[in-house]
Amino acid sequence: MRAAEAGDLVELRLDCLDDPALLSSGQLAAVIGKLEQPVIVTFRAADQGGQGAANFASRRQFWANHSEVLKNELMDLELEMAQELVNNPGTSIDWDRVICSHHDFTGAPCDLDQIYEHMTSTPARILKIAIKAGDTTDCIPVFHLLERARDEGREIIAIAMGSAGVSTRILGPSCGAYLTYGALDSEHSTAPGQITARELRDLYRIDQITSQTLITGLVGLPVGHSISPQIQNTAFAAAGVDAVYIPFEAHDLTAFMKRMVHPRTRELNWNLRGLSVTAPHKTAVIDCLDWIDPPAKEIGAVNTIVVQDDRLCGYNTDAAAILKPVTERLGSLRDVRCAIIGAGGAASAALWSLKHERADATLFVRNQGKGSALAEKFGAGCERLEGAHFKGFDVVINTTPLGTLGSFEHETAASAAQLGGARLAYDLVYNPSETLFLRQAREAGCDRIAGMTMLVLQGVEQFRLWTGIDAPMAVMREAADRALNP
């Protein structure tokens, strides 16, 4: 019954039962009768994402036996089953209640239009096509399919599964999709990349998205750990801005920028306003832009893109945000000894800011060749991270992704032994709120700063760049805290 509280329709996945064939018509009718929302009844084959091992014959018999009790419900029949039942005159099916579905869990097929045309040969009123997205650009043919079906007057559900396909789940209804699917909760998704029904409604506000809604989002690899959607979407809602913020998982950044972002080359007709850029794309994205703000150009890294007419403009909001929590703690940083761990875009922003604060900065890296060039650019020292000790440093800043929720969660840029004698340890990683680096710093007796404050501060400036109005900072802080400490 929890599903009925979150969705407009409820899907009964009978293939998740041990033996759906034992379910009598009376039992099925009783379950459906308890739901106020319309019901989609699904009994899917294993190769189409079904959870059970029921064979084709048993599933065909199920539909034949229960067609009468299901006459008022939507029925999800995979294409092969729909074709079988069309040719079986002994089965009474109301095809206006049928969703004819096709799932491809191996990737994005190149013959998507042909599959669609094949499905239109059935009498099913609603078509459903779900493919596996390996990169966010795999969403393009899905959006094109939605556009084609809308132009042809066909009702369709088109979804790109997987973390790279989230945008199709969020934007699908505004592009003409009959519906989108949401999980009951994070532990009960029925397809890769499925987010919860409550997130779709409360966080992404899919009921309010239209063709006029400003599209913003986060491009990176990975992006699933990010709490920026919680921060920015909550801010949009509080400020009354018609905008949505979506995660975009991009392996091939150049293809994403060309095919989905740049106004002169993109293949989607959408109201894209801007993007946040995170690892590992902050430096590489520069080659895709038309104009770069001077500080971002000096830093050599962009974390914010604004679409202005037919141009892409790049900014770096990290630089101003990185040191604010430190100066609030220590005051002036002039001649303060600062150690920066890492040599990526965040390290560049930190070094640029420290140079302007006239701090005494040293870069600690695993690849000293790469690090030396970066350190020299900003007049900083450069040391090997391996075997380094931070005794005597006023601030140690981790700019690497080590400690981030996921595969890096149990790693740290420095141990307690290395951090002993340092005054303040600052981790730019914000999820989880207490990283292994910060736990090691606590063990070493250091003061500590977590990355959430910096994340919110840089997001405040991004909000202003995209909307032209001041961001509701207090709201954004509260949203970040709720996301990290549910």
C-alpha span between 29 and 118 (Å, rounded): 33
At 441, which helix (H) or strand (E)? helix 436-444
Examine the residue annotation and report whether 128 is marked as an active-site residue of this protein: no
Question: DSSP strand E in 265-371: where?
Answer: 272-277, 291-292, 304-308, 311-315, 337-341, 360-365
| DSSP letter assigned to residue 93 | -
Question: DSSP strand E in 60-206: where?
Answer: 74-78, 98-104, 126-132, 155-161
Between the alpha carbon of residue 307 and those of residues 30, 250, 275, 314, 459, the distances in Å are: 53, 18, 9, 9, 17
At 117, which helix (H) or strand (E)? helix 112-120
Between the alpha carbon of residue 447 and those of residues 9, 337, 392, 394, the distances in Å are: 51, 15, 14, 10
C-alpha span between 300 and 279 (Å, rounded): 14
Question: DSSP strand E in 203-336: where?
Answer: 214-220, 243-249, 272-277, 291-292, 304-308, 311-315
Catalytic residue among 71, 282, 324, 391: 282
Beta strand pairing status for 311-315 and 304-308? antiparallel
**Which residues form the catalytic set?**
282
